[in-house]
Structure 1
Amino acid sequence: MSRILSDEALDIIFRTARTQNAWTDEPVSDETLHKLYELMKWGPTSANCSPARIVFVKSKEAKEKLAPALSAGNLEKTMAAPVTAIVGYDVEFYERLDYLFPHDLTAKTWFNWSKEWAEQTAFRNGSLQGAYMMIAARSLGLDCGPMSGFDMKKVDEAFFAGTTVKSNFLCNLGHGDPKGVFPRSPRLPFDDACKIV
C-alpha cells in the first residue's frame, strides 16, 4: 500500500487551502472538534511533551469575552466564524510527563530546571501542535483562518486565568465563504529558502 497521499489530499491540506476571512453560517459540531483533536494529538513533540492547550470558542458569550482582545481587523471575521480556537501552551507541561513519557520517569528534570527553557520548549512544541491542528481541520473538511492580531494578555486573563497556560495564536475554523479569500500570494522558491548540504 502506498504511503504517499493523493494529489487531491495534498491540495486540500496545502496547495489549494487558503486562509479564510469570511464564513458561511454552517456550524461546526462538537463531535468534529473532538475528531480534530484525536488527529492532531498524534503529531510529534519533544519527549511527547504535548504542551498545547486549546479553547474552542463557540458560544455567543465566549465570543463576546474574546472580542475585546481582538485587533480591529480581526474582529468582524472572528465574530462571524463558527469556532475560534485559542491555541495556548502550558509552561508547566512537564508535570504531565510521567503520563506522556512513562518509559523515562526522569524526563521532567530535562525541562523543569529552567523556567525560560521550559517556556521555550512549550512555545516551540505548542506551535507545532497548532500547525497539526490546522492540518487535521483541513483533513476533516474545515477551513482555517489563523491570526496573531490580538492582545495576548487580555486573552490569557479572560480564558487562562489561574492556570499555567499562555496564548500563542488564534485560528478561526468553519466553512469559508469564497468572497473572503484574497488572491494567492507568492511563496519563496526552494533556492531562496532551502539548502541541501
Structure 2
Amino acid sequence: MSERMLSDTGLDLLFRAARTHKGWQDRAVSDVLLQAVYDLAKWAPTSANCQPMRVVFAKSQAAKERLRPALMQGNVDKTMAAPVCAIVAYDLEFHEKLPELFSQADARSWFAGKPDAIQENAFRNGSLQGGYFIMAARALGLDVGPMSGFDKAKVNQAFFPEGTWQVNFLCNLGYGDPDQLPPRDKRLDFDQACDIQ
C-alpha cells in the first residue's frame, strides 16, 4: 500500500460515504469557498491541458429565477433551496487559450476550423473537469447534487446567449440535510462492470 494513499476518512469523504443531496441546510456558501473549489479542480488532467470547463455559480435569487424555467419540475424546489447551483459548461473556443496552456506543441492548430473536433474534445474534457469539480467540492467540505434534468436550450439562452459556452450539467452545492437522504442505492460490482484483459 502506498504512503501516498488517502486515509479511510478521506476516501469516505470523497466516495464511500458521500451522497447526492436533494435537501439542504440553511447555511451560506462563501464566494471564497467557491473560488477554492475551482482552484483545486483546475489542477486535474485534461488532454493537452485544454481546460474547457467553465462554471457560472447561480447564487443570487435573481440568478436562480433565471434558471427556474429550464428545470424539470422535480428539480425546482431542491435547486431553489440550495445555497448555490453551479452551471457547469464547456467552452467551444477553448482552443484559443491553448497557446498559453500547452507549450509542447501548436495544439491550437489541432482544433481551429474543425468544429467536430472542438465539440468532441470540449464535451469530453469538460465532463472530466466536471467530475473533478464534484470531488473538489466534496474535498473542501461541501455536499453536491449534480443534475441532468433541465432544458439545455433554455439554460444556454438564459446564461450563454453568445453561444460559445454550452451547459453540460447542473450541480447544487451547499451543506446537505442528512435527514432528507433516502436509502443508498446499489452500485455495480467489479465483475459486472469491469474486465481485466
Question: Match of 1:76?
Answer: 77
Question: Match of 1:166?
Answer: 166
Q: How far 1:163 sits from its partner (Å)?
A: 4.1
Q: How far 1:95 sits from its partner (Å)?
A: 0.6
Q: Structure 2: where are the runs of 5+ without partners?
A: none
Pair 1:176-2:176 in alignment: yes
Q: Classify the secondary structure of the residue corresponding to 2:188.
A: coil
Distance 2:148 2:136 in 1: 20
Question: Match of 1:95?
Answer: 96
Q: How far 1:140 sits from its partner (Å)?
A: 0.6
Q: How far 1:184 sits from its partner (Å)?
A: 0.7
Pair 1:151-2:151 in alignment: yes
Q: How far 1:149 sits from its partner (Å)?
A: 0.2
Show the 5 A alignment for 1:27-176.
27-104=28-105, 106-176=106-176
Q: Deviations over 1:135-179 (max 9, x none)?
A: 000001000000000001010011111140000000000000112
Q: Classify the secondary structure of the residue corresponding to 1:169.
A: strand
Distance 2:150 2:36 in 1: 27
TM-score (norm 1): 0.97
Q: How far 1:90 sits from its partner (Å)?
A: 0.6
TM-score (norm 2): 0.97
Distance 1:154 1:62 in 2: 13
Q: Deviations over 1:30-55 (max 9, x none)?
A: 00011101100001001000000000
Q: Classify the secondary structure of the residue corresponding to 2:85.
A: strand
Contact 2:98 2:107 in 1 (8 A): yes
17-26 vs 155-164, which deviates more? 155-164
Q: 2:176 is matched by which residue type in structure 1?
A: G
Distance 1:74 1:183 in 2: 19
Q: 1:12 is matched by which residue type in structure 2?
A: L
Distance 2:95 2:160 in 1: 18
* Deviation beyond 4 Å, 4+ runs, structure 1: none
Contact 2:55 2:87 in 1 (8 A): yes
Pair 1:24-2:38 in alignment: no
Q: 2:11 is matched by which residue type in structure 1?
A: L
Q: How far 1:103 sits from its partner (Å)?
A: 2.9
Q: 1:52 is matched by which residue type in structure 2?
A: M
Q: How far 1:113 sits from its partner (Å)?
A: 4.2
Q: Classify the secondary structure of the residue corresponding to 1:195.
A: coil
Q: How many residues align?
A: 196
Contact 2:156 2:163 in 1 (8 A): no
Question: Match of 1:11?
Answer: 12
Q: 2:156 is matched by which residue type in structure 1?
A: D
Q: Classify the secondary structure of the residue corresponding to 1:43.
A: coil
Distance 1:54 1:35 in 2: 13
Q: Classify the secondary structure of the residue corresponding to 1:53.
A: strand
